[in-house]
Amino acid sequence: MATARPCLVQLSRTCLHLTRSTPTAFPIRLFSTSTTNAARGKYVPPIVSKKEKVVVPTVNKYIKKTVVKKKKARTAYIQYDLSKEETFPLLDAMRIIRAWEVGQKPTSVKYELALKLKSQKNGPVIRNRLRLPHPVKTDFRVCVICPPDSKYAEAARAAGAVLVGEDDVFDAVKAGKIEFDRCLCQTDSLAKMNKSGIGRVLGPRGMMPSSKLGTVVVDPVKTMRDMVGATEYRERVGVIRMAIGQLGFTPEEMSNNLKAFIEAVKKDMSRISDKISKELVEVVLSSTNGPGLPLNGSFKGANTSVTPKELSGP
Amino acid sequence: MVNIAQRMTRLNELLRLRVGGGAAILPPEVTRLHMDFVMTYDDGHKGPRNFWRNDLRRLKYYNPAIPMTVSRTENPDDPALMTIHFTSPSAAASTPPPVSSTTSPNTSTAPVTPSSSPALAERTEVFNIKSRKRYEILEQLIALTKAKQIEPTEKELNEIRELGEKREQSAKDSTLSQKVNARKKQEKRRMAIARGELTATS
């Protein structure tokens, strides 16, 4: 530091000398805005300093200033007043839906059920799988990826898998020939499958086996048996929707399915938690192309003129 | 789910299922109706399609036990035909309606073709429906089957009238609110231009 001091002194001297050479004061007119403002013209708002810019807000005395409160986010789904709702007995609803779906392919048309719940937006949701007394879709074509000469392959073929093997499956899938709806993988072939690159084809279709989905298993045959006929349901936006029957089902079969499904959902609701109470509000029967008809829980109403037998035809 | 009022208004359309052409009860001798036509609209297949979408639904509503099938083909040169299967009056009284079920072997899940018609059909009537209007098809069908037409009741007529009035009113309301909204929008734009946020050309 001692060496630095003389240098600083020297520097300050030179600087001082320099400042003295310039004029000590600028004329005040240079800083004035009036000349520049005059140059800008009459109709342009003049440039004002920041201090002056703070203007008193013009208060309209006719408009009352209301304090805008931030709307509180709703935590539960909206519930409507159902007192004016028209409801139908099962037979009437089926008659209307069958009339609406006349001439459609009976294989592709399904009855659908929507269960509206009283539930929280941020709470847990109901999610489960169920085997209906009369399964809606039974003809799943299953593909099993496992070593072709293992005992699993034989068992899978016997259980009705349409495609069994390793390399044959990979080749078929890569060629775009996907003639199955579900794909299972045996744990021994997992590494080979991951290497084969069929995920690019099966992945977007949601058919790629993964242990997360429970489709990579030790015993594929057992899973096949569980899978057939079971359907998954899940609460979305406060409503559970599921296909509940084929169009060709008789009213008795439909009623069995409905009862089984609603009971299962009620059981799930009671199981979920003590703190959160869910409530079944509305049951609506619909179909692939048909209207949605709220059910009133009875099989036959006072004005029902059809018999179950009449609704049992193809 | 959708608002309940909206859903119930929509259900008023069920009235269309009860009232209109095709609201008729077929005699018990008729065992089945079958329609053949082409998927595409043009070339005279529009009438059959309209018939299927409107009148056949009503027929099915009033005759839930009679199987009514439709098979649509891709080839535009295919004919459009209506097939009616009849049985004798004595057999009609004794035979029960067909029952389909998943538990029984005789399922309805296979698409039905005219050749697989039930054995109890004694005779069939076939007529052309290509290049014909919806009501023409219905007229011929009713004449052939001697179906009993159902007249709408006073209550249903009233409901239809009310629905029509509602529709007119809603059309009026909609044009009115369109005008109001347009005016509001223009006002807003004018204010924005005045404030200098927008230029008049943009």
Q: How many domains does one find in chain A?
A: 2
Question: Do the domain assignments include residue A199?
Answer: yes
Strand A142-145 with A163-165, pairing: parallel
Question: Do the domain assignments include residue B194?
Answer: yes
Query: Residues A122, A245: one domain?
Result: yes
Residue type, A22: T
Q: Give CA angle at B81 (A248, B97), nearest 5°.
A: 30
What confidence tens digit (pLDDT) does each residue in A150-209 have?
A: 777 777 777 667 777 777 777 777 777 777 777 777 777 777 777 777 777 777 777 777
Query: Residues B123, B192: one domain?
Result: no
- Final residue of a structural domain among A179, A194, A227: A227
Under an 8 Å CB criterion, which residues of A touch B?
A: 80-82, 84-86, 95-96, 98-100, 102-107, 114, 116, 134-135, 238-239, 246-250, 253, 282, 284, 291-293, 306, 309-314
Instruction: Give, as one character, the DSSP assignment of residue A139.
Output: -
As a whole number of angstroms, the distance between CA A6 and CA A64 comes to 71
Query: Residues B156, B179: one domain?
Result: yes
Of B104, B156, B148, B105, give the one whose Cα is nearest residue A252. B104
Strand ranges inside B39-164, DSSP E: 68-73, 81-86, 123-128, 148-149
SS3 A175: coil
Question: Do the domain assignments include residue A294?
Answer: yes
Tokens encoding A84: 């004016």
Query: Residues B124, B178: one domain?
Result: no
Can you give the CATH number for the domain in which A118 is found? 3.30.190.20
Of B30, B27, B25, give the one whose Cα is nearest residue B84. B30
CB-count burial class (<10 Å; 0-12, 13-18, 19+) for A115:
buried
Q: Hey, are the CB atoms on B109 and A104 less than 8 Å from each other?
A: no
| pLDDT at position A192 | 72
As a whole number of angstroms, the distance between CA A142 and CA A181 comes to 6
Q: Could you report the predicted ipTM of this complex, rounded to two decimals?
A: 0.80
What confidence tens digit (pLDDT) does each residue in B5-50 have?
A: 888 888 877 878 888 888 999 998 888 889 999 988 777 889 999 9
* pTM listed for this prediction: 0.69
Distance of CA B28 to CAs A142, B18, B120, Å?
45, 20, 13
Query: Residues A294, A187: one domain?
Result: no
As a whole number of angstroms, the distance between CA B34 and CA B81 comes to 8
Can you give the CATH number for the domain in which A151 is found? 3.40.50.790
List the single residue in B57, B64, B103 with the smallest CB-CB distance to A311: B64
Query: Residues B145, B163: one domain?
Result: no
C-beta separation of A74 from A121 below 8 A: yes
Q: B180 lies in which domain range?
A: 152-202
Question: What residues form DSSP beta bridges with A235?
Answer: A240
Question: What is the phi-psi region of residue B22: left when phi exceeds 0, alpha when psi lies from -120 to 50, beta otherwise?
Answer: left
Question: Do the domain assignments include residue A259?
Answer: yes
Query: Residues A223, A146: one domain?
Result: yes
| pLDDT at position B48 | 92
Q: Is the dihedral of CA A102, A106, A111, A112 positive or negative?
A: negative
Distance of CA B186 to CAs A219, B43, B196, B199, Å?
70, 48, 15, 14
List the single residue in B96, B97, B102 with the smallest CB-CB distance to A249: B102
Q: A200 lies in which domain range?
A: 142-227
Question: Do the domain assignments include residue B15?
Answer: no
